[in-house]
Amino acid sequence: MEETKRAAGILLALSSLPSEYGIGSFGQTARQWVDFLYSAGQKHWQILPLNPTSWGDSPYQSFSAFAISPYYIDLDALLAQGLLMKDELAGINWGKDADQVDYAALYREREPVLRKAFSRFKGGADYERFCAEQAFWLRDYALFMALKQKNNGRSWLEWEQDLRMRESDALVRAETTLGNDQAYHTFVQYMAFSQWNAIKDYANGRGIGIIGDIPIYVAMDSADVWANSELFLLDEQRKPIRVAGCPPDSFAAGGQLWGNPLYRWDRLDQSAYAWWLSRLRAGFALYDTIRIDHFRGFESYYAIPAGDPDASGGHWEKGPGFAFINAAQKAMPQAAIIAEDLGYLTEEVRDLLAASGYPGMKVLQFAFDSREPSNYMPYTYERNCVVYSGTHDNITSAGWFTSAPAEDIEAAKTYFGFRQTPEKREASWAFIRAALSSVANLAIIPMQDYLGLGSEARMNTPSTLGSSNWQWRLQPDALGNEAARALAGEIRAITALNGR
């Protein structure tokens, strides 16, 4: 996807929107956010994966590569439909802080509310059409979630042997005994998809495209692996043989051990990559553009023996290369894809990116890293790329100026012309101006940077659990007050100044 015109957008997770129900939703504030983007002269809204969160509350470790999190369902819409009553929402504690997502509270409180709505749901032609269109993943997912709840949340690897191995008689019995629970999870997906599609239509109607995010890997404890085990590197008991991660480097002495199962690319090739193409088609039904996380894994991937304590014992193996890219481009010739090409790159990876024609990513914070050379300085960019001041995995730009190594900060101060360490807003806008003025066809800025926020607003710290990962939210009145209108005007002005 090569942009023909310069454009700009803002990165903001759906979960970060304000709402009174503990997390951002497909409700009125999502439309209010789209209105903010429109008034700020933006053409893109980049989000994080919408999938249900599992281990560590990360949207990159999900129970399904296709499903949408039930947390995002707009409860006010269910009230308007008569599926919920006001008193059923009264007194529920969705979390202590309005500017932080409390996933424990959501896990505890959200399902009983949605079960009440399900008890009043009557179905209909649109529901039946949705079930038929999504049948290639929905039935397995709904049964997986019903079985997971029956097993007290345990991984499918710990279920009874016949269910773990998906023996046909066991699946029939499960669908019979858990039919109502399976129907509940199907209803949840219908509501989530219907509401999100309405938000996307609203954004597109205002000239704003949605950039979605697809992790290259799926979680081991997912309906995807349980229902398609032959496509993953598993032993005869369906336990992983080798898992995904990154090798040791100057950033992590033991490397990064992600733990995701690896693909059997030979078997995917035999099916002409059918499962992956279904995944991409499903993504393009939800988004206008897709960012593929860890794109370099298509050229070669790092394989770590399952059970190793860290990533140091892994090795590189060849991925499908251009055969997969070619299959995707033949199936979806107009597909708009951004390749996340960060990290350790070889000439082979660069060649694959060039052959694909997809724009890669540039992260300005990496331009000043003194530990290793990089091509993130704006004067090195080609037009066909997407520049970010930082991503969801970076500290905010203001936070970077107080936490980066001293030599990196000095290099940035020299580049931006600062005599001393700048204040938060000045630091953020220095990165913003550099990104917007670069030759990159598309510039994406995290909302935290436009707000001039410090490290307290960081979305995620890679390779860590707990802390405040994935929790940051906008203040409840952040989109409707006079300051928001003034900020939208500032963003519109600097966007127009840079021809975006």
pLDDT single digits (tens) 165-223:
999 999 999 999 999 999 999 999 999 999 999 999 999 999 999 999 999 999 999 99
Instruction: Please report the pLDDT score of residue 344 as a whole number.
Output: 76
| 363-392: average pLDDT | 92
For residue 465, give the nearest of 18, 61, 50 by alpha carbon. 61
Give the 3-state secondary structure of residue 50: coil
Closest-CA residue to 300 (of 332, 324, 267, 330)? 324
pLDDT at 480: 85
Averaged pLDDT, 108-114 = 97
Q: One of 293, 299, 341, 408 is an active-site residue; which one?
A: 293
Query: What pLDDT sits at residue 423?
Result: 93
Q: How far is CA 88 from CA 123, 186, 396, in A?
A: 22, 22, 39
Mean pLDDT confidence for 300-309: 97
Active-site annotation holder among 340, 341, 369, 408: 340
Q: CA 102, 118, 99 angle in degrees (round to 5)?
A: 15
**pLDDT, tens digit, 9 for 90 and up, residues 226-248:** 999 999 999 999 999 999 999 98
Give the contacts of 279 (CB within 8 A, at least 6 positions apart).
65, 66, 214
Q: Which two tokens stand for residue 386?
A: 């997407």
Q: Averaged over 266-287, what is the pLDDT? A: 98
Angle at 141 between CA 140 and CA 143, to 5 degrees: 65
Q: Is the pLDDT of residue 321 over 60?
A: yes
Task: State yes or no: is 74 an active-site residue.
Answer: no
pLDDT band at 286 (very low <50, low <70, confident <90, very high): very high
Q: Is 266 a residue of the active site?
A: no
Packing angle of the helix pair 347-356, 322-331 (nearest 10 deg)? 10
| CA–CA gap between residue 399 and residue 395 (Å, rounded) | 6
pLDDT at position 371 is 77
Instruction: Tell me whether residue 76 is one of the annotated catalytic residues.
Output: no
Q: How many of the other CB atoms lie within 10 Å of CB of 419?
A: 7
Q: What is the mean pLDDT of residues 111-136?
A: 98
Contact present, 451 and 487 (Cβ < 8 Å): yes
- pLDDT tens profile 323-339: 999 999 999 999 999 99
pTM value surpassing 0.85: yes
Q: Tokens 């009230």, residue?
A: 79
State pLDDT tens for residues 382-438: 999 999 999 999 999 999 999 999 999 999 999 999 999 899 999 999 999 999 999
Find the mean pLDDT for residues 69-97: 96
Task: Give the tokens for residue 451.
Answer: 């707000």
Rounded (10°) CA dihedral 211, 215, 220, 224 = 50
What is residue 128's predicted lDDT score, i.e. its pLDDT? 98
Asked if 59 and 51 count as a contact pair (C-beta separation under 8 A), the reply is yes
Q: Is the pLDDT of residue 1 over 50?
A: no
Write the pLDDT tens digit of every residue in 456-495.
999 999 877 767 899 999 999 899 899 999 999 999 999 9
Of all residues in the chain, the percent with pLDDT exceeding 90 is 91
As a whole number, mean pLDDT of residues 4-28 equals: 95
